[in-house]
A and B are shown apart, each in its own frame.
Chain A
Amino acid sequence: MGVENLAELAKLIIRSRIADPSFVFSFFSQLPDSNYSKLKYIISSSVTEACNNSVLLLGPRGCGKTAVLELVLEDLLKEHPDMISVVKLNGLLHSDNNCALKEIARQVCLEHQLQFSKMASFDENTQFLLSILRECGLAHKTIVFVLEEFDLFTEGKQRLLYSLLDALQSVSSQAVVVGVSCRLDADQLLEKRVRSRFSHRKLLFLPSSSEDFQRLVEHILLLPMDSRLPNDFRAAFNEKLLNILADEEFKGVIDQLCYSDSTVSQLLRFLFCAVCHMDLSSGSLSIENFKSALPSIQRQPKLEALKDCSVLELYLLVCMKRLEVKELESCNFNSIMKEYKSIHDSFKTSDYYARNVCLRAFEHLLQRGLISFQDNRGQGQSAEFRPVKLLISWHELQQGLKSHRSCPAILNKLMDREG
């Protein structure tokens, strides 16, 4: 096979690894004293000792809470088959009580090959849940309830949480409730009666350190022993990769990536972008791939929008900025037009256009997200009278004007004078 085909195969392998969270986070399971081992201990102890438990997994988005939980459950299902059944709920979908109970009933029915009736009422579903808990308790089978987006379940009356946690209090049931949330204060959102039934066990998932990141990158990118890849190609690829990873430049790129967002999912997106741009003819990754992936993922949308503005739109923005500097309370399209006219009168610019053309440019600015209306209430007013505000700062506007391809010099002068 030619180099290109091999490189494409390598690309395919790495891409599927990146898109597979269980592979990525299996790295964390190998670390000692990690959240993986702690969580596994909690759940397995409640399975073997037949007791009830509840735990919260907290941490920013993309740190692997759900992925680690999936790994733990997978391993436990292998170790203790037939002793665990899992019910998964998500706050985005099932925050309504009726939906949640229906979903619980559906999943339980699916697992135990019972017939699920869509028309069952709320009471019937509650009865079903209680009886299932009792039955499973008698059969020494633990039900694990996974509640993702836990903070969304705490809106409203928290009836579902109360009934679940209350069911845990009875002796006959054997259940574990695992809550996953990105809000670090998720347990503060619980009502008093719910919080008292909750064991205050929390596992904190924090973004990893940079050494761990380095090892994670190696774990993902180094090609494994695969029958489709010849050994010499694999060895050459891995060696080149290790050279890049040891390079100072690469460490700088990773550091810069972690300044803004140091979660694993950001790293995965970055690696995906770099791998997609791998040059097939050279047959391996290069430092250029990583360096070009960084600005693709760290975007500056307001600056991009400013660079795309036409000259008339830049005029309107500068007029708004000048009005802001003059400390008028609020400006609307009419006052901007007045300022525009005064600029034209004093500087005799060539860019003086009629009102409806300026209104169209004004609407373009609204669409681009550079300005917005100050309140949503004034729906009755036409666009010319509603107060607007700038969504970019003076510094951003100046940067945008400087990097603009055809910005007229008069605008730079006006900005500098007011600054």
Chain B
Amino acid sequence: MAKDGSPQVSRRARRASLNTTTPNSKAPKAANISQPLTIKDLVFHGESISLDELINSFPGRRAQILELVQFLGPLNSPTIPLFVYGGASTGKTSTVLYMFRHLKRPFIYCSCVSCYSPRILFESILNQLLLHRKNESGGYLSAKRCEKPSDFVNLLREALTALIDILKGNMGKSSSKKSSSQVNGRMVYLVFDHLELVREWDKSDSIIPLLFNLYNLLKIPEVGLIFISKASLDTFQSDTGFVEPFPVYFPDYTEDDLRQIFMRNQANPKLYSSFLDLVLRPFYRITRRVDELSTAFSPLFKTYCEPLGDLVTAPSEDTRRKLFSHLQPFISLSLNETCTISSQPLIKGTTNKDRNMRKSVFKKPGVCETLDEIDFHMSTSAKYLLISAFLASRNPATLDASLFDSTGGTDNRKRKRKVSEKSIDQKEAKEQEILMKGPGTFPLERLLAIYQCITSVGDYSLDDEELQNGGSGADGSDSGSMSDILLQLSSLCSANFITKGGSCPLEGSTRYRSIVSEDVALRVARSLKFPLSKYLYRR
């Protein structure tokens, strides 16, 4: 398990770096590939920790840790299956794994994220139990091939009895080993993580009752089962039910717990504490998840510390006031943002852009600021294709002829109509319909037709640039390599700008749907200097 167990563990340690003390286990030593696994690899690596250290590592989780430790009980005591559930980012997995560090009992961990089908799940568990490591000499194969649940239960029973015999033999030996490699007891615990994903598998009807009934099927008292899930037990539907494990609930953190968590490992506690006083309460109203809060706090803290000369001394009262007034506009801006990932500009020399961004930052709070620049890069033909898809989804098909006729047709549309009560109601109803139904679907032919129309219009307006670029921009539509357009279309589909809908059985061709929002389409059009608003159908 040195290979499989500890990289997962160090990943958890990194993710929970805000939750734990500085891990005193060093980075996992690169395990010698040819060394076979032993039962020592089934135990959590590193120094054993006491119960108090465990509770201190997880602020706000004292009750849950004590409950779990009591359920697992003294050494070699059988236990009923446990079901640990709670919201995301509440520390379920890290608490369970670190509890095994405290107990130093052998356990098997498998996550339904990496084991995304029954076969991979079964084989992963069997590999760990049989102390088998996938290596080059074996062709990276699992120890046993196992696809069917019946094979799985038989092989699991064999592997467990073999492992428990080894553990019993180990118990007989003297226990004068170092604490870091000690293996306690003769019970093996199976930890299944992310169980809520199993509900979406194909064979979930049989896999979910199988996993929950596993304890009864095996009839081995030396096995303990722990299930970890984000969803509670009542969301696991089954026709005839299953044996229910015992629920242990991990509630979300309260504000005080969050403060304790964020105060860990801070270089300057007083400074960070005054920062938290400002930001924790407003952000707590939006979300309580540690991961989302930490991604929001780290850039804010950097901005907070900007005016400070040194970051070591504790701030005085007026320093705090100064920092507060500096931070204030950024808080409200950050409240309305989710995670932002800035993309790298391809062309350097963006001083203009920086100035623009600085200006746009100080808009009124509560409104998400849209920059005029799009922050992704696309070829011109792809941009045109995106705009045509957007138009095809927004406008009804009957309007195409009038919108895209040879005059670049915008005059026919603005028919003056008398504004009557009925038409206002109709308009509202139609708006409600757009809101509910969303963008419409269109067949491929319509998309290509609109694309041809737009690019020919674009040709006329891009005349000056065309002369400069030597007509490279307009070539794409004329020489009409259809495969090029279809390639662009499929890359737009995989980038989730356009989705491929189900096909209508009468027509037989696939239909597409554009799912970009209006402001993204406007920005793309603006970058092409394309008058999008003229072509949009406003009811």
Contacts and interface: CB of A to CB of B under 8 A. Distances in A.
A403 to B, nearest CB: 12
Contacts of A302: 234
Contact of A20 (B221, B240, B284, B436): B221
Contact of B337 (A18, A96, A183, A354): A354
A99 B88 contact: no
A357 B336 contact: yes
A120 to B, nearest CB: 15
B286 A312 contact: yes
A308 interface: yes
Contacts of B499: 380-382
A19 B235 CA distance: 26
Contacts of B210: 92-93
Contacts of A360: 287, 292, 338
Given A103-B150, A353-B336, A356-B338, A312 B285 contact: yes
Contacts of B154: 106
Contact of A301 (B232, B240, B438): B232
Interface string A77-98: 0000000000000101110100
Interface string A348-370: 00011111110111001001110
A51 B337 CA distance: 76
Contacts of B78: 15-16, 19-20
B246 A273 contact: yes
Nearest to B500: A380
Contacts of A332: 435-436, 438
Interface residues of A, number: 70
A38 interface: no
Contacts of B502: 380
Interface string B213-255: 1001100010000000011111100001111101101011010
A357 B515 CA distance: 19
A151 interface: yes
A251 B435 CA distance: 57
A93 B209 CA distance: 10
B436 A308 contact: no
Given A356-B368, A382-B515, A369 B231 contact: yes
Nearest to A335: B435
A268 B245 CA distance: 11
Contacts of A149: 240
A229 interface: no
B368 A355 contact: yes
A356 B335 CA distance: 11
B156 to A, nearest CB: 11
A173 to B, nearest CB: 24
Interface in B43-75: 67, 70-71, 73-74
Nearest to A344: B366
B492 interface: no
B72 to A, nearest CB: 9
Interface of A: 8, 11-12, 15-16, 18-20, 61-62, 66, 90, 92-94, 96, 99, 102-103, 106, 149, 151, 182-183, 265, 268-269, 272-273, 276-277, 296-297, 299, 301-302, 304-305, 307-308, 310-312, 330, 332, 334-335, 338, 351-357, 359-361, 364, 367-369, 380-382, 384-385, 387, 405-406
27 contacts: A11-B73, A12-B74, A16-B78, A18-B80, A19-B79, A19-B80, A20-B221, A92-B206, A93-B148, A93-B210, A99-B148, A183-B240, A272-B246, A273-B71, A296-B247, A301-B233, A302-B234, A304-B232, A304-B251, A332-B435, A353-B336, A364-B289, A369-B235, A380-B502, A382-B438, A382-B499, A406-B285
Given A93-B150, A367-B88, A382-B438, 8 more contacts: A15-B73, A19-B79, A272-B79, A272-B80, A296-B67, A297-B246, A301-B234, A360-B338
